[in-house]
Structure 1
Amino acid sequence: MQRVFWVGKPATPIIYSQDVYMDFPPNRFTVEINSPPIQGVTSYNWYLDGVMQSSHTSSAVFNRRSPFCGRTYLVEVEAINTCGTSVKGFYYVSEPSCFTGYSLRISPNPATSEVEIAVLGKPNTMESKESEQQGQLIEDETGELVLYDRLGNQLYQQELQGGKTIIDVRNLKPGTYVVKYNSPEGVLEGKLLRH
């Protein structure tokens, strides 16, 4: 008979996109750790935007915030066994955009010095080529651009005019950041990776 023993703190849990279920139940989302199983885990701690929400099981249900579009949530999870607590695994859960057919272009992404952020939309003409349907600059867009760290702390704020702007990211630590664009039409969010 063979037995497997786990020695030390558990491995970091990994959340995959297929483990996230929106609107189940309504106005909530569920995150499950399906694979690979972490041996020796006795419980889990779940966090939403840096605040512990629930613990113990390999899945968690989180309340969505109104309006139910254009928002990004930071979900983190720790695995616990008798030897200690793992490093947090994290995943960004993104709501569909409030702008139908609009998106943020963050380029280059990953970035090391400067990054251009632009609001893109699909052309309204039927003659548009398929390449243009990926999105073109919406030059009349004006609104507020805000940069957050993965814990939701605001790091940067700037007015976006003419549909685009350039920001300097050299002072940011390497990691993942949330870019949020607020305008009278709604909210767009995207992720920026700083190398």
Structure 2
Amino acid sequence: MNKNITKHYGLISKEDRQRKNGHKSKIVWFTGLSGSGKSTLAVHLERELFARGVNTYILDGDNMRLGLNKDLKFSKEDRKENIRRLSEVGKLFVDAGIVVLVSAISPFKKDRDEARKIFKTDEFIEVYVKCSLHECERRDPKGLYKKARAGLIKDFTGISSPYEPPEYPDLILETDKESIKNMVTRLIDYLVDNGLFEV
């Protein structure tokens, strides 16, 4: 850290914001192949949490690449920086007392582990959105797999670039086997069981 930079602290703490909101703040990190259902799960979970009075926000990987991360490509180095920025922005939301839902392929285990390190143990929830490559290609909602197979997209996760599944995720959701309703219920139950409303 630059010796000329000093961290400043406010008079309102994260815990103060959590008490005001009536719930803890956490980051729910959805990782999985393109087309696995990460964004779909995030928006449905957010709707359910919002209905329960929980303050939430979604940081979607694609949306972030349209703004803050639009200068990044898809090399391993840029993917690492993409995840670093997502996690740092997510930390700001958690500090603000909000439950932030991150939906990003985040293909490399080391990058996800680095993201986890900047949060307290009970704040970071890694959700592996598991879906077979075959099913993701069948869905291909953005037509990206077709382009990758044709050689039009380089370094595409699952085709020409690896995806490293989480070894010990907090939750595994198999979107080619379970309904959205059932998976959202499991997510809500997990959050409640892990102290979402205990302030």
* TM-score normalised per structure 1: 0.28
Of Structure 1 and Structure 2, which has the larger fraction of its residues in strand? Answer: 1
Q: Which has the higher contact order (CA 8 A, sep 6+)?
A: 2
Structure number with larger C-alpha Rg: 1
- The structure with the greater share of residues assigned to helix is 2
